[in-house]
Copies of this chain bind each other. A is one copy, B any other.
Amino acid sequence: MTKKVKLADIAKLANVSAITVSRALSTPDKVKPETCDKIQRIAAELGYIPNLMAKGLKARSKTIGVIVPTIINPFFANALKSIIRSASKTGYTCLFFSSDESAAMEQNAVNTLISYNVDGIIIAVISEDEDYRPSYFATLAKLNIPVVLLDRQIEAPHSGGVYLDNVDSGYKLGKTVAKGRHQRILLVSGSANSKVANSRLAGIKMALEECASGAQLDIIKADFNSALAQQLTAEYLLGNQPDAVIGLNNQITLGALEACVQHGLRPDQDVAFYSIDEIATAKHFGVTIPCIKHDVEEFGYHAVTQLIRTIESDNSEKHAEIIIRGVVMA
């Protein structure tokens, strides 16, 4: 077992001081080219890996923290992936945490990120209920650590946010549904005080009303997970026979879908499905689910860009909101 190689080790071999080595590796222009070359060669030979702990103790850490409620949901998994990619392009490292849908773990993750001296945080909070007011936002504000909200908007001091245009998504999907000339439409929504759900719902209603299709619209309030959607849909099906089902997010659609097939209804044939958020696996099963697809790559990109801009322009820039619009995939 060897000890970790440090600046002093390289310095000794190169007959210079540690600070020169530091400069050769971080700000090469400040060192005479020959010296610089020699140092870099020695560093490479020794397999030098800088100690971020020591570095971060003084300066900027060049690190951003990311917190999502779950990585099982492909939406967040993809967002995470694009965030990591965008960040690494700009020379930032990402520290990632999952709050596992728990307020305690979310708080915890924030603390850990503060512990690690992150320069900023991108967070998709666990809930967008109106009464969810996590206290860590105040802490972050005090410490001047910028926060970019992802997808879920809440009332809290933060420096920016990247959201979906949920009314627009609903509206577009509604227009698509209207073309289907259905008689009886089941809409499975998210929780009653979710702004995302309500915006999507409003958009859909608007579109359907505009088209005056005359279709009956039944609405179930579930939540953004598949289990409840499945259960409530199953109950609904006992006394009703829709010819179209709309899921307000990917998980809901999957739950409703399951309830329908269990009830003997064949997707596409007996009942048409529509979804906000893509159901990526549908194609594997040969099922067509027209949907509003959101460009998750873009989502991550904007979150990172916005955060880094705020970080580097220090003066707590004007609070910006970026809205991503979805596109219809039929």
Contact = CB atoms under 8 A, between A and B. Distances in A.
A74 to B, nearest CB: 7
Given A53-B116, A85-B100, A96-B97, 6 more contacts: A1-B144, A49-B114, A53-B53, A70-B81, A71-B71, A254-B284
Contacts of A50: 115
Interface of A: 1-4, 47, 49-54, 56-57, 61, 70-72, 74, 77-78, 80-81, 84-85, 88, 93, 95-98, 100, 105, 111-112, 114-117, 139, 142-144, 226, 254-255, 257-258, 261-262, 266-267, 281-287
A115 B258 CA distance: 46
9 contacts: A47-B139, A49-B111, A49-B115, A52-B53, A53-B53, A71-B80, A72-B81, A81-B98, A257-B284
Contact of A286 (B56, B70, B97, B262): B262
A142 B93 CA distance: 25
B254 A281 contact: yes
Nearest to A143: B4
Given A115-B50, A285-B267, A142 B261 contact: no
A50 B112 CA distance: 9
Contacts of A111: 49
B53 A57 contact: yes
